[in-house]
Structure formats: C-alpha cells, structure tokens
C-alpha cells in the first residue's frame, strides 16, 4: 500500500535567497578560472607563443567539464535517494576546496610540471561538484515553489549563476583598473579566486538551513525507472544544447575582446558585467513571463529572434569594434538567448517526476554542457586564429589586430 503523500515543505524568502546566493557562489568559483584564462595561461602554461598559453589554459578550463557528467550521476543521483540538502552541502564544500587549491598552487616557474597537474586536478574536482549542483538545486527550487510561480522559482537557478557572472566581471574589471597586466598575471587572478573561497563558509551555512523536499517514503515505493523517461531525456538534451553553445560563446567575450579586438583589459572585463546583467534580467523576465504566457511561446520566439541576430551582431562587432556598440550587442544577444534558455530549463525540469528529477536533470544538463560548453571556448579561440586567413583571401575583411 502506498504511503500517503506528505505536504511539500515550504521555504522562506530568506532560504530561497540563500539557495540562489549559494548557487551564485559556486558558479563564481567555477567561472573565475575561464575569465582569467589569459593570466592563468601565463602562470601555469608558459610558452613563447601567447596563443598557445591561452589555448592550454582554456583546455585546462575545459577539463572541468569532463567530470560534470560523473558528478551529475553521483551527486544528482544521490540527491534522489538521500535528499537534496546533503548533496547541495557536499557539492559546495568540494568546489570550495578545489578553488582554494587553484588559488594556492605555485606557478610553473616555481614547481615545474606539478603546477599545471595540480590545477587540472582541482579543475576536475570543480567540475564534479558543479555537475551535481545543477540537478539538486533546480529540483529543490521546483519543489518548494507554489504551482503558479514555479517558472519564477526555477528561473532563480539561472539568476544565481549569472549573479556570479556579474560579480566575476565586476571584480575582474576592478582589478584590471587598479593593476597592470603584470600584476594581474602575478597575483591579481589569485585574489579574485580567493574572494570566492572566503565566502564558502557563508554558503555552507545558507545551504544547511534549507528544507528537505525529497519525499523518501513515496520515492522508495513508486520510483519509476529512468529508462521510462529516456525519450524525455533525449529531447531535453537537444533543447539544452541550443542554450549551452550561446552561453559559453558569450562567456568567452572577455577573452575575445582582449585577444582578437585588442580592447583594454578594463573594457574586456566589463563585457562580463554586461553579460551578467543581461542574463539576470533575461532569466527573471522569462520566469515571470512563462508563468503567465506559458513555456513554449517564450522558448520559441526568443530563440528565433536571437538566432537571427547572431551573425549581424558579430559582423558589426568585427567591423566597428567600439566599446559602446560592443556592449550593446553583447547585452542584446545575452538577453534574448537567456530568455529562451530559461524557458527551456523550466520545461525540462517539469518534464521529470520528483523521484528522478535531480539525477535526470543533472545528467542531461551535464552532458549538454560537457560536450559543447566544455569545448566551445577552446574552439572559438582556435577559430579566431585561423579564420582571418580565409577572410583575407575572400577580401571580406582584414585580419583583426
């Protein structure tokens, strides 16, 4: 006989804010590595060719995506059996430890090959932790939400992630303003990473205060097989792929502005602030709009609009690389793609029942991120070095400075 369904625990406004801020802190520690790819490349992957150093740093950054599916299966799956809260605490602690390891690792000049090996190991741990974070935290947000506000609550997952984006951009811009490039390479990027590490104890305390939403008695007796939702998972994977590529291309804009457009470091780091602000606004607006107008219209129309505007926007960025135009186009691209991506996440989350939601969502999201997100920045950096040759042959534009 099935046990009677227990009422879902309610979460206070403070607890929801705490979970969102916890997600922001976790994503900050993960993202800061890619935002300082130029400095990290010089510190741990020195080379006579600056492009090779950058590509090595981006490859190390991409290593964190290799373990995201593993973390999704382990932490996300355990969240469906042991509860959301303990796994959220575990993932946060792991990423804090790994980020501290990167911040304290001596340079290649000090300890040789051990330096990049330690950094890559820490990056793998970061990826493992973040792989399980997405499923457990999104599932918890969906399960504490009132039925008519579920879109808004789930959108807070992206709001938290891009608060981290905005904070990382602001800190990077501030450091670039007060430091020269030599200081940023020597210790500035370590300071940025240490800021996130110092806030980890606060994040752990916020997560311990969250209510538990997993209905263990029902899940144990009526849990469906993940195979029953294989088709749903495939559709979800394809939907998330569309959002993943655009997200990581736009996250690359700081490096792109510095290495290809030859913009000052302060302007380049400001792009992260623009991307973060646009994404926060887009995610929040999509959550509200999807609750009122439905998931599908927001998902489809904003994806069509953003897809149509990508090529014209980059053409303008290349041919007229002014700071104001660069920021305006990046803001528009991030706003529209984020509205579509948020509606996709809401739809995917609702497609899975609570008893398999954390694991199924974590695995599908991690696969989308790992296959395309983990390689996007490396591929974009490589293409920006190769494609100008073909552009010159066609006579369509000159090689970027």
What pLDDT digit, counting tens, does each position of 12-37 carry? 776 787 778 777 877 787 777 777 87
Judge whether residue 333 has pLDDT over 70: yes
Please provide the average confidence, as pLDDT, over all residues in the chain. 78
At 186, the pLDDT band (50, 70, 90 cuts) reads: confident
For domain 13-213+228-394, give the CATH superfamily.
MFS general substrate transporter like domains (1.20.1250.20)
What pLDDT digit, counting tens, does each position of 135-153 carry? 888 888 888 888 888 999 9
pTM: 0.75
What pLDDT is attached to residue 226? 54
At 183, the pLDDT band (50, 70, 90 cuts) reads: confident
pLDDT (mean) for 228-255: 71
What pLDDT digit, counting tens, does each position of 65-110 carry? 788 889 999 998 899 888 888 898 898 888 888 888 888 999 888 8
HEC string of the chain?
CCCCCCCCCCCCHHHHHHHHHHHHHHHHHHHHHHHCHHHHHHHHCCCCCHHHHHHHHHHHHHHHHHCHHHHHHHHHHHHHHCCHHHHHHHHHHHHHHHHHHHHHCCCHHHHCCHHHHHHHHHHHHHHHHHHHHHHHHHHHHHHHCCHHHHHHHHHHHHHHHHHHHHHHHHHHHHHHHHCCHHHHHHHHHHHHHHHHHHCHHHHHHHHHCCCCCCCHHHHHHHCCCHHHHHHHHHHHHHHHHHHHHHHHHHHCHHHHHHHCCCCCHHHHHHHHHHHHHHHHHHHHHHHHHHHHHCHHHHHHHHHHHHHHHHHHHHHHHHHCCCHHHHHHHHHHHHHHHHHHHHHHHHHHHHHCCHHHHHHHHHHHHHHHHHHHHHHHHHHHHHHHHHHHHHHHHHCCCCCCC
CB 281, CB 175: distance < 8 Å: no
Domain segments of the chain as ranges: 13-213+228-394
Alpha-carbon distance of 204 to 18, in angstroms, equals 10
Ranges 62-76, 210-224, 247-261, 317-331: which has the least confidence: 210-224
Judge whether residue 394 has pLDDT over 50: no
Of residues 306, 340, 302, 318, the one with CA closest to residue 401: 318
Judge whether residue 391 has pLDDT over 80: no
What pLDDT is attached to residue 392? 37
């Amino acid at each position: 006989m099935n046990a009677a369904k227990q009422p879902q625990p309610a979460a206070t406004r403070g607890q929801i804010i705490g979970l969102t801020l916890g997600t922001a802190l976790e994503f900050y520690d993960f993202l800061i590595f890619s935002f300082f790819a130029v400095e990290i490349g010089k510190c741990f992957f020195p080379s006579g060719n600056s492009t090779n150093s950058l590509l090595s740093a981006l490859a190390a950054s991409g290593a964190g995506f290799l373990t995201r599916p593993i973390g999704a299966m382990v932490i996300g799956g355990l969240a469906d059996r042991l509860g959301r809260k303990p796994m959220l605490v575990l993932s946060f602690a792991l990423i804090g430890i790994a980020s501290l390891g990167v911040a304290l690792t001596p340079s290649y000049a000090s300890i040789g090959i051990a330096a990049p090996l330690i950094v890559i190991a820490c990056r793998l741990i970061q990826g493992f932790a973040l792989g399980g974070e997405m499923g457990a935290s999104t599932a918890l947000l969906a399960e504490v939400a009132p039925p008519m506000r579920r879109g808004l609550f789930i959108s807070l997952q992206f709001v938290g992630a891009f608060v981290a984006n905005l904070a990382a951009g602001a800190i990077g811009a501030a450091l670039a303003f007060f430091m020269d490039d030599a200081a940023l390479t020597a210790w500035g990027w370590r300071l940025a990473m240490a800021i996130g590490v110092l806030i980890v104890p606060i994040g752990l305390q916020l997560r311990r205060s969250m209510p538990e939403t997993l209905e263990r008695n029902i899940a144990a007796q009526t849990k469906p097989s993940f195979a029953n939702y294989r088709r749903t998972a495939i559709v979800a994977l394809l939907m998330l792929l569309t959002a993943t590529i655009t997200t990581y291309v736009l996250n690359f804009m700081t490096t792109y502005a510095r290495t290809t457009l030859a913009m000052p470091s302060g302007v380049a780091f400001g792009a992260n602030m623009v991307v973060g602000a646009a994404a926060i606004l887009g995610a929040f607006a999509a959550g509200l709009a999807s609750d009122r107008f439905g998931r599908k219209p927001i998902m489809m129309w904003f994806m069509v609009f953003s897809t149509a505007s990508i090529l014209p926007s980059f053409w303008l960025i290349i041919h007229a690389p002014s700071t104001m135009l660069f920021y305006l186009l990046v803001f528009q691209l991030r706003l529209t793609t984020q509205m579509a991506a948020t509606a996709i996440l809401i739809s995917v989350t609702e497609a899975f029942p609570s008893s398999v939601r954390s694991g199924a969502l974590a695995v599908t999201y991690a696969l989308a991120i790992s296959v395309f997100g983990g390689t996007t920045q490396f591929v974009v950096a490589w293409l920006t070095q190769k494609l100008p040759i073909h552009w010159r042959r066609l006579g369509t534009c000159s090689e970027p400075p």
